[in-house]
Structure 1
Amino acid sequence: MTTAPTPTAAAAVIERFLDWATDPRLVILDTETTGLDGEVIELGLVDGSGRTLFEERFRPTCSIDPRAQAVHGITDADLADCPSFGERWPDLRDLLTGRRVVIYNKRFDLPRICATLDATLPGWFAAPGGVAGGSADLHAFNAISRSAECVMDAYSPLAGSWNGSYGNYRWARLADASAQRGVDVSDLTKHAAVSDCVQVLRLIHACAALDPADFPWIGHEDEDRL
């Protein structure tokens, strides 16, 4: 009986992208916000076939930081007639529940969603009548947060920038990762939620097709060759 060879570290990294690319439960999430510590004002969801599941803007409870506006181009006036995030949360929650959620930099998007729920749906986390354990919304959000996966983390070994001081790979911006992998973004709008979801999906497929032999440094970081 022949023993199957042990996958290389690089193969394991690429296998994760292949797993995402072939999972029918996949959904990619992206947001635009009022600022780095602000509220969600646009959210997009795209499934593994590139179909848009959700695309909407929201009226925040605060003004948009000019620095954020310079990035995504969304103004306070653009959002004046939009629903609040809290109004649309039930639909969004149901779309995400039971799906395999992936995000490029989940450390940013998930806390912003939580903060936006706090701002637009006060008390959303409390169970009716003060019952211990929290609301159904809280349980749903926690389940989504725990299972959500970060494409930025997964990609960092492929970018190949080793940080010896911290013993890990440096993160790559989505634009830089896409450029490295030759992802076509010519038909996409920069910093628009659904377009960014599509860009992440294309990056996933590009990485799923990579040859592990082209990434010999992965698994040999202690050799200090980077």
Structure 2
Amino acid sequence: MTHTAPTAADVIDRFLDWATDPRLVTLDTETTGFDGEVIELGLVDGGGRTLFEERFRPTCPIDPRAQAVHGITDADLAACPRFGERWPDIRDLLTGRRVVIYNKRFDLPRICATLDATRPGWFEAPGGAAGGSADLRAFNAISRSAECVMDAYSPLAGSWNDAYGSYRWARLADASAQRGVDVSDLTKHAAVSDCVQVLRLIQACAALNPADFPWIGHEDRL
């Protein structure tokens, strides 16, 4: 089967589709570390309204390198609930929504690992029935349908990697700067602020002109 490379119009149309979808929700997390647990989660809908914003007490200490990025300390989380306690509300907010994430390869595994740590046996069905628990089925459905804004944006950034035959990913800060996204009222590396930043990036990309990206669809010339 022959696959046609996406055009610039195709790429921008995806952002337009997100920007106009009433089911849209952006998700972002802060964690104890690259392989750690979720300690803050934000959800923002397509209208910019905060659906969820909360911090969580992890079962492991925060890596100093992660703390240097987001500024959250173990002491800040001492009185917070475990992520597993709030998972039912998070799950229900995400179910049936169109979930978009800037780098879903990071956030979704961290959510899964945090459920393992804070909601033991969450994936098991009563009596060991096949197919796992309702929680597991819901998480799998959310994971399968979630879309990655970082992947979608990479052709617009225009940095081609010959070694991998694909566009390089852009950091959210760099993508926002390229598209002139206003972040002056946002807090860097705070979950809800990052959700709003992703939403603004989506909206900015939805208004782009395909003619300004002549390299997309002509990657053999890069």
CA distance, structure 1, for counterparts of residue 174 and residue 211 of structure 2: 21
% identical equivalent positions:
90
CA distance, structure 1, for counterparts of residue 159 and residue 206 of structure 2: 20
**Displacement of 1:86:** 0.3
1:67-119 superposed Cα distances (whole Å, 9 cap, x missing partner) = 00000000000000000000000000000000000000000000000000000
> 2:6, 2:216 within 8 Å by CA — same for their partners in 1?
no
The residue number in structure 2 matching 1:92 is: 90
The residue number in structure 1 matching 2:114 is: 116
1:50 is aligned to 2:43: no
Call closer, same or farther: CA 1:177–1:66 in 2, change over 3 Å: same
**Displacement of 1:179:** 0.3
The residue number in structure 2 matching 1:168 is: 166
The residue number in structure 1 matching 2:22 is: 24
What TM-score, normalized by structure 1, do the two folds share?
0.95
**Displacement of 1:5:** 15
> 2:5, 2:217 within 8 Å by CA — same for their partners in 1?
no
Give the 4+ runs in structure 1 shifted more than 4 A. 3-7
CA distance, structure 1, for counterparts of residue 3 and residue 78 of structure 2: 60
1:5-25 superposed Cα distances (whole Å, 9 cap, x missing partner) = 9994x0000000000000000
**Displacement of 1:120:** 0.1
**Displacement of 1:165:** 1.1
The residue number in structure 1 matching 2:211 is: 213
Report 1:32-47 matches (<5 A).
Answer: 32-47=30-45
Unmatched tracts of structure 2, length 5 or more: none
CA distance, structure 1, for counterparts of residue 6 and residue 107 of structure 2: 32
Call closer, same or farther: CA 1:217–1:123 in 2, change over 3 Å: same
**Displacement of 1:47:** 0.1
**Displacement of 1:164:** 1.0
CA distance, structure 1, for counterparts of residue 208 and residue 173 of structure 2: 18
**Displacement of 1:225:** 3.6
* 1:224 aligned counterpart, secondary structure: helix
> 2:6, 2:217 within 8 Å by CA — same for their partners in 1?
no
**Displacement of 1:129:** 1.1
1:125 is aligned to 2:109: no
> 2:26, 2:100 within 8 Å by CA — same for their partners in 1?
yes
> 2:29, 2:41 within 8 Å by CA — same for their partners in 1?
yes
1:157-195 superposed Cα distances (whole Å, 9 cap, x missing partner) = 000000111110000000000000000000000000000
Unmatched tracts of structure 1, length 5 or more: none
**Displacement of 1:130:** 1.2
CA distance, structure 2, for counterparts of residue 163 and residue 6 of structure 1: 16
Pick which of 23-32 and 127-136 moved more. Answer: 127-136
CA distance, structure 1, for counterparts of residue 4 and residue 52 of structure 2: 42
Note the aligned Cα RMSD (angstroms). 2.5
Q: Number of aligned pairs? A: 221
The residue number in structure 2 matching 1:4 is: 3
**Displacement of 1:4:** 20
CA distance, structure 2, for counterparts of residue 210 and residue 151 of structure 1: 15
CA distance, structure 2, for counterparts of residue 11 and residue 137 of structure 1: 38
* 2:221 aligned counterpart, secondary structure: coil
The residue number in structure 1 matching 2:142 is: 144
CA distance, structure 1, for counterparts of residue 92 and residue 130 of structure 2: 23
Call closer, same or farther: CA 1:76–1:4 in 2, change over 3 Å: closer
> 2:48, 2:199 within 8 Å by CA — same for their partners in 1?
yes
